[in-house]
Structure 1
Amino acid sequence: MRSLPLSALQHYAFCPRQCALIHNEQAWAENFLTAQGRALHERVDSGEPETRKGIRFERSVHVSAEKLGVHGVLDMVECDMQTGRLKPIEYKRGKPKPAPFDEIQLCAQALCLEEMTGQTITEGALWYGQTRHRLPVAFSDGLRAETLATITEVRELLESGQTPPPEYGKRCKACSLVEVCQPVLLGKDKSVKYVAVFWK
């Protein structure tokens, strides 16, 4: 079974075409937003482990869940030194989104930690650079089910080797791959349908 990078889940939740372009076609482009995000993660990842008020902060934690078929690097894991409870923390440059893109990625991190440690992880948190605010995330049954479904969908997409056609929307304005994807131009391209009809 192909092990998926955790980042592919967030890419897929944002846009399946973006996910296929990045993880199958190895396409990448950086814009101001991705550069800000990379700089933020470099600052977070470069920090040394530390303990404050009974909480151990571990940065750049590598995880791999064989049964789940997912791997990646977590920005931070907090460990309560008294209880041993773990809490994944994900850093994002922007602000909370209306759709649960980030929550799915964070929940997948928790599922990885659960498989590796045998511990049930009930919550994590998302820290947003634009709001300078930490948002608690409870790993409910609903979020867990949505995360597992997303993992299955991403695996099917990437193993198919197919890149979905473009669908232009508001999200395209924030996507660093908009010049590679060409959603407006390719969305109007009827040649594929024309060839399919012509050769029937």
Structure 2
Amino acid sequence: MVASVGAMTAEVRSEIMTDPQLPGWAVPPPEGFTADDLDHLADLPAHTELIDGSLVFVSPQQDFHSVIVDLLVTGIRRSLPKAFRVRRQMSVVLGPRQRPEPDVVVLRAEALTGPDVTAYQADDVVLAVEVVSPDSETRDRERKPQLYAAAGIRHFWRIEQNGGRATVYVYELDPATKAYALTGIHHDKLQLSVPFEIDVDLTEIERL
């Protein structure tokens, strides 16, 4: 029975792969996709992520998500040291089968090698930020932080919606355990000195 199921699966997969109407990414290779594949797959939907070798497609963005990302990027850029840069929705290569797209990243300025860059390397990222969405709660709360920590990204923020307001959970990497430790929960104001000075009025979201 197992052999016949396997044979049927292979046959169906072969038929799908030869269907000229389907894009090349419709059926993954047996070993899964790689981080490099994302730059070469034709007609791949915008903001597609690679998690554990599988393509992850993004649902339509909610208003809260868009506004809080704008608020954070503006606030970070206002006080960011010259040695760093902030970007929104750019993918980060964490490993051969991992290329997520944080909502916000802060990276070393020397990582910007030109306008055609499509992804950054984990070693260049100082901070990764995820805004939790209804369709990606498990990834944003569990899997992505695990991957960021394993790749050595020292700082991670998770943002949750709370009645239209933003709650920011701030984490720092524990070098002994290679896992994130919660260092603060911020509601109305995000005021930090690590990894850089930042002071953002989170209540501004109501006026944007």
TM-score by length of 2: 0.37
TM-score by length of 1: 0.38
Higher strand share: 2
Higher helix share: 1
